Amino acid sequence: MIRTLIRSRIRSRLLLSVSFLSLGLASSSSIALKAAEGDLDVTFGGGGKLHVSFGETQDEAAALAVQSDGRIVVAANVTAADGSRQIGVARLAPNGALDPTFGINGRVITSFPGIANLAEALAIQSDGKIVVAGSTVEVAVGPVNVRGDMAIVRFNANGSLDTSFGNGGLAKARFGQRFDSANAVAIQGDGKIVAAGIATFFFNPRFGLARFNTDGSLDTSFDFDGKVDSPFGGGEIGIGSFATALSVLADGRIVAAGTVGTNRLALVRYQANGEEDQTFGVNGRTVDTVNAAGANAMVIQPDGRIIVAGRTGFAEAADFLLARYDANGARDLTFGTDGLAITDINATENEIVSVALQADGRIVAAGTALTFPTFGDYAVARYDANGVLDPTFGTGGIVTTDIVDSIFDRTQAMVIQPDGRILVAGDVALDAVVLVRYAGPPPHELAFFPHGAGTPGTAGALTMTLTAPTTGSVLVNGPTGQSWLSDPLVNGTLAASRVQLLLPCSGVNLPTAVRLATTDAAGANEQVLGEGSAGLRICTTLTQTIDVPVTAPVTLTARRLKLTIRPLTSLPLPVPVGSRTVLRATSFVGTP
């Protein structure tokens, strides 16, 4: 109930004054060299915790994202001294320092008209623009004197409002007569923005989805007016429903997850045109029978299976809940117990608000562990791919973090950074935004061995695989050179460091250049990481090394490494591709 109660747009306020002298956010004097997974990352903020202030009277965390360059974006709901509420966005460097190139000293606060402008979700476009989804609340004329619209706000990469979007950076969708809001947002491959949340008709909320064109106008190819609402019946499952999570599939179909009434998980899959997909569940929908459940988050695995996260139980007896469904909406009984993983964090009320997958397939869930009714801690649990708590994480798979003693600490969002570290955003007493970062898996060596065979589906390139070949060589002609592409795809991060290419010794002093780059899965969209050169020579050892400096951290998501060896003269270079030729990166975190 934590999430569903607090996320209500018309909610009571807990007004508590918090002194950050008591937060324990002072800089740590000692840095642990090898933190265990789930330990606080003491290189972040002060001892792993960071207060992000927007300079107003009250700041509430709303959403969180990490850019491809590692910078952190956090959205908040900011209350000024006059009581007005606006959307705040801050951008931080990977170490937690405010980014001075964003907004004013790393922060921006909107100033749209109305009673309140509220953030609920956040997404980063491929061009670096920041999309915040939520609602606008204003005074209305008629029997209902306050109403809300689903709202999307887009910022440029520097934090300024994108005035080419909607009306001065703000786009809206109105469904019914009372209150509409976006709780989740996703960016399609074509740049269109999909939002899911609440569409209210005659005080009865429904799943509501809207799709916006890249200029902020509603997309009329999506159910004719850019909006879709999915009502659920009453009876045994109660009245009303709302969507809280959203994912756009590779084929353009859309999956929304949420809650029906007060006690049922629900999934709806839509065709790309907004029609409910009749091949999913029962007539496009799955309404689960798990007792007293609510959904807050969702993640879709690479094999298409769907994990929904939230809580089961009410008030003083709620637990973390993960439920997994196959790609067609049936509960996956191979997961947890009968498709469910239920975790009691040893508090009276526990609820997941965010869920994500690690690169190795393990599942991370973050939420709040509440000692009913006022005290709460951040809580993170990690599960293996089968829904079993991972004992290598924290204590028995669980970590809890107390921000301020005897105060309501509330988790609102979580992301897994490409290097595997877990970043959680929340707030203290609905009053101050605090980020917490936990250590991820340690770096390991990534070693690829060049082969003479081509990569399937990729023209003009050879292969680097994880297995060393025993024989063979490639004649590399100068000055054009030859390239190899890594297989399998790489997901993770390379720290700023030297990558080494080990080659067998040569009988001649042949000047040779080496370039390391990344590409997409098809071998296109190359991005150079670094270059090095050396004279291949006669040497007493079996191998010699060419260092390739990588000068900035690199995030790899379903990318290939591309190795190019190029003689600097017209003489050809025979490159043996046996076990003594290897590309090594010792600072890699991820898979493989």
Q: Which residues pair with 513 in a beta bridge?
A: 533, 566
The 3-state DSSP composition of the chain as helix, strand, coil percent (nearest 5) reads: 0, 50, 45
**Model pLDDT, residue 29:** 34
Q: Is residue 495 part of a domain?
A: yes
Q: Is residue 464 part of a domain?
A: yes
Contact indicator for 366, 411 with CB cutoff of 8 Å = yes
User: E strands of 213-284, at which residues?
Assistant: 227-230, 241-248, 254-260, 264-270
> What CATH number is given to the structural domain containing 549?
2.60.120.260
Question: Tens of pLDDT along 405-446?
Answer: 767 889 999 999 878 899 999 998 767 899 999 998 888 889
Q: What is the mean pLDDT of residues 123-136?
A: 96
Is residue 548 within a helix (H) or strand (E), and if so which, with residue range?
Answer: strand 543-550
Q: How many CA atoms lie within 13 A of 469 on its CB side?
A: 17
Q: Is residue 515 part of a domain?
A: yes
Q: Is residue 455 part of a domain?
A: yes
Q: Is residue 459 part of a domain?
A: yes
Helix (H, G, I), strand (E, B) or coil at 416: strand
Query: How many domains does the chain contain in total?
Result: 1
Q: Is residue 550 part of a domain?
A: yes
Residue type, 247: S
Q: Is 39 exposed, middle or buried (0-12, 13-18, 19+ CB in 10 A)?
A: middle
Contact indicator for 283, 266 with CB cutoff of 8 Å = no
Other Cβ atoms within 10 Å of 10 Cβ, number: 9
Dist. CA 589–CA 419, nearest whole Å: 5
Is residue 364 within a helix (H) or strand (E), and if so which, with residue range?
Answer: strand 363-371
Handedness of CA 431, 435, 438, 440 (dihedral sign): positive
Domain limits for position 500: 444-591
Contact indicator for 180, 135 with CB cutoff of 8 Å = yes
Q: Is residue 571 part of a domain?
A: yes
Q: What is the mean pLDDT of residues 324-334?
A: 97
Structure tokens of 260? 């029906």
Is residue 149 within a helix (H) or strand (E), and if so which, with residue range?
Answer: strand 146-155
Nearest to 194 by CA among 156, 158, 150: 150
Does 541 have pLDDT greater than 50? yes
Name the pTM for this structure: 0.82
Question: Tens of pLDDT along 472-524?
Answer: 888 888 778 889 999 999 988 888 788 888 887 766 677 888 999 999 888 88
Q: Is 102 or 452 the better-scoring residue by pLDDT?
A: 102
Nearest to 568 by CA among 528, 535, 543: 535
Highest mean predicted confidence (pLDDT) among 272-276, 309-313, 417-421, 582-586: 272-276
